[in-house]
Amino acid sequence: MKSKLTTILLLTVFSIAVSAQTSAQFIDLGQGGAAKVSNNGTYVCGNNYPAPAFIWSESTGRINLNLINYSEAFGVSDNGIVAGSYIDSNLIAPNGNPTLRAGYNENGVWDSLPGYPGYPVLDEMSYNYGYGISADGSIIVGMQWLPTYKAEACYWDASGIHMLGRTGGGSSRANDVATTATGFRIVGWDGEANGPDRRAFYWDPAPHYMGGYDTTYPAGQCEGLNSDGSKIVGGSVGAPFVWSEATGMEWITTNYLNYASYAKDISDNNIVIGYVSIGVGNYQAFIKRPQWQDILYLKDYLIDSLGITGISGWYFPFANSISADGLTIVGTAYPPSGGPDAFVVKLENPTPVELKSFTANLENGKVILEWITGSEVNNRGFDVERKIQSSEWKKIGYVPGNGTTTEINSYSFTDNSTASGNYSYRLKQLNLDGTFTYSNIVEVNTNAINEFSLNQNYPNPFNPTTKINFSLPQKSQVKLTVYNTLGEKIATLIDGVKNQGTYETNFDGSRLASGIYVYRLEAQSVNGQSGNYISSKKMILIK
């Protein structure tokens, strides 16, 4: 039986204008703690012990997920799907009590995630747990209890549960996940039976041990990662770190060794948040920007740099998550009245540039980047950055901006130095005051395209979004449409001229019923070239 959601109104907002283009808000969400903000900054999830989990957005306020007696929320997707655990009255422990199990909450309803086949409920708290979810909601990560009372990291997708292993003979756990150009990257920890009970690990899905600060006893764990999985954060022996394949572990600070200090999350413009222990039980939330030499305590940053003086009496123990654009921070703090309270910090981009579009197309072996801005404020220009498969981002060019303008402006850049392979591009928009923001990432496969093709959507089955890829060997008039099984048109995803290249588009079925749908690609060559192509494929929406 579905119950109605209970909405709790926003309690307190501290807001101050810092300059003509900069402002910040500190939002008190009430009792509990905020665990995660979605990549797009829209949703926040958290917990109110011992009451149920909650989800919050600016449009809805705080909504308790109290359809079940007890629940926990640790991750939230860009479309508001919450990952966590809840009491399932249909899953009974040996002592006769209902069991806490991994699940996800969509539109106020908890649904269970399956346990590994043959693994029993050990007790009402020992079956499985959900801890993180990908931005598109397609992957949830956590851990599964084994009959030996060891836990093993795992993930769930449309095909069920998948175990990630225990390379050290102890327990393991998955904390967070990001989808990448080639699949996914999951972060967490894997313990040794006769050594550190937690060591920093990531999976893709193969396990990768990442090392630690103390080489003789490299205890630590990974906590979060940026939206494309290229940067991972965590802590080892009290030293918070940022990790990438190119640099390995880089220590944010080593002033808090041998205490519980962790980097919890990282934005796509490399802003790191977390907490450090200044002694036993004495925690402070921190923020670290790339241009700073060291960390700043979050409370000091909010008061001294952003002028939010209304929180001078608060104590800030934990900063837990940051959005991909670095403009939303969430965590747990203590007001003078007690607490803990969940909080949200909303920052406004001090020099916004409205990027209306950013595309990449392959023409005669060259990659043509084109982008359009709707308005610009103090825009010095754009660094064009490129990444080849698993390499690091590198600057390959610069395009001047137009300062401050409300006019629509078009820009382009040609990358002439490409060989066969997969290339990713992004724009680093530079402001006159030295600050910067990153655009979304566009991808191009420069391998020779000799024929039209329409690929199977991924994931399939899907809920509620999926990706559709197709390739064009030459410039063509393209129409990509979606139909139901009655032949009725549901959506037109693309209708226009496209250059030679490989394209990807998203389809959102959140407003559709479960069932089989057909997507159809029609392509007709232009500029006097010969070639017409029509192809259709089926996809399955399961809710």
Residues 105 and 252 in one domain: yes
Please tell me the predicted confidence (pLDDT) of residue 298: 95
Residue 313, pLDDT > 50, answer: yes
Q: What percent of the chain has pLDDT over 90?
A: 66
Q: Look at residues 384, 410, 445 and tell me which one is the last residue of a structural domain.
A: 445
Q: How big is the chain, counted in residues?
A: 543
Average pLDDT, integer, range 465-487? 91
Residues 476 and 426 in one domain: no
CATH classification of the domain holding 383: 2.60.40.10
Residue 51, pLDDT > 90, answer: no
Q: How confident is residue 543, by pLDDT bands cut at 50, 70 and 90?
A: confident
Residues 13 and 102 in one domain: yes
- Cα gap 161→170, rounded to integer Å: 20
Residues 342 and 369 in one domain: no
Would residue 217 count as lying in a domain? no
Q: Residue 109: count other Cβ atoms within 10 Å of its Cβ.
A: 14
Strand partners, 515: 541
Would residue 221 count as lying in a domain? no
Residues 62, 7 contacting (CB under 8 angstroms): yes
| Dihedral, 473, 449, 426, 410 alpha carbons, nearest 10 | -20
For 338-353, what is each residue's pLDDT tens digit? 889 999 999 876 556 8
Q: Which residue has the higher pLDDT, 69 or 516?
A: 516
Residues 357 and 343 in one domain: no
Would residue 64 count as lying in a domain? yes
Most confident segment among 47-61, 186-200, 296-310: 186-200
3 state SS for 401-415: EEEEECCCEEEEEEE
Number of domains in the chain: 3
Q: Which residue has the higher pLDDT, 67 or 509?
A: 509
For 150-180, what is each residue's pLDDT tens digit? 999 999 999 999 999 999 999 999 999 999 9
Please tell me the predicted confidence (pLDDT) of residue 528: 65
Mean residue pLDDT across the chain: 89
Would residue 219 count as lying in a domain? no
Residue 270, pLDDT > 80, answer: yes
Residue position matching structure tokens 């990153």: 438
Q: How confident is residue 513, by pLDDT bands cut at 50, 70 and 90?
A: very high
Q: Is the pTM of this model over 0.75?
A: no
Residue 357, pLDDT > 90, answer: no
List CB contacts of 198: < 8 A, sequence separation 6 or more. Answer: 189, 190, 191, 219, 220, 221
Token readout for 86 is 């809840």
Residues 437 and 463 in one domain: no
Q: Residue 450: count other Cβ atoms within 10 Å of its Cβ.
A: 8
Residue 239, pLDDT > 70, answer: yes
Q: How confident is residue 448, by pLDDT bands cut at 50, 70 and 90?
A: low
- Cα gap 292→210, rounded to integer Å: 25
Please tell me the predicted confidence (pLDDT) of residue 67: 59
Range of the domain at 380: 353-445
Q: At residue 360, what is the residue type?
A: A
Residues 477, 496 contacting (CB under 8 angstroms): yes
Residues 307 and 361 in one domain: no
Would residue 85 count as lying in a domain? yes
Residues 430 and 470 in one domain: no
CATH classification of the domain holding 244: 2.130.10
Residue position matching structure tokens 């990282």: 266
Residues 275 and 150 in one domain: yes
- Cα gap 27→343, rounded to integer Å: 6
Residue 240 DSSP class: E
For Cα atoms 249, 250, 253, give the angle at the middle one, nearest 5 degrees.
125
Q: How confident is residue 68, by pLDDT bands cut at 50, 70 and 90?
A: low
Would residue 458 count as lying in a domain? yes
Q: Which residue has the higher pLDDT, 469 or 121?
A: 121
Residue 22, pLDDT > 50, answer: no
Please tell me the predicted confidence (pLDDT) of residue 451: 84
Beta strands in 119-238 (DSSP E): 128-133, 140-145, 151-157, 160-165, 169-180, 183-192, 200-203, 207-209, 221-225, 232-236
CATH classification of the domain holding 519: 2.60.40.2550
Average pLDDT, integer, range 528-534? 78
- Cα 403 to Cα 101, 360, 372: the distances in Å are 53, 24, 14
Please tell me the predicted confidence (pLDDT) of residue 304: 84
Residues 432 and 461 in one domain: no
Please tell me the predicted confidence (pLDDT) of residue 309: 86
For 120-150, what is each residue's pLDDT tens digit? 999 999 999 999 999 999 999 999 999 999 9
Q: Which residue has the higher pLDDT, 281 or 287?
A: 287
- Cα gap 284→303, rounded to integer Å: 15
DSSP string, 307-375: --GGGTT-EEEEEEEE-TTS-EEEEEEE-TT---EEEEEEE--SS-EEEEEEEEEEETTEEEEEEEEEE
3-state secondary structure at position 507: strand
- Omega before 464 within 30 of 0, i.e. cis: yes
Q: Look at residues 417, 445, 473 and tell me which one is the last residue of a structural domain.
A: 445
Q: Look at residues 424, 445, 466 and tell me which one is the last residue of a structural domain.
A: 445
Would residue 211 count as lying in a domain? no
Average pLDDT, integer, range 487-501? 90
Residues 384 and 324 in one domain: no
Q: Residue 434: count other Cβ atoms within 10 Å of its Cβ.
A: 8
Residues 342 and 437 in one domain: no
Would residue 223 count as lying in a domain? no
Sheet with 23-31: list strands edge to edge. 12-17, 23-31, 341-347, 328-334, 315-322
Residue 458 DSSP class: B
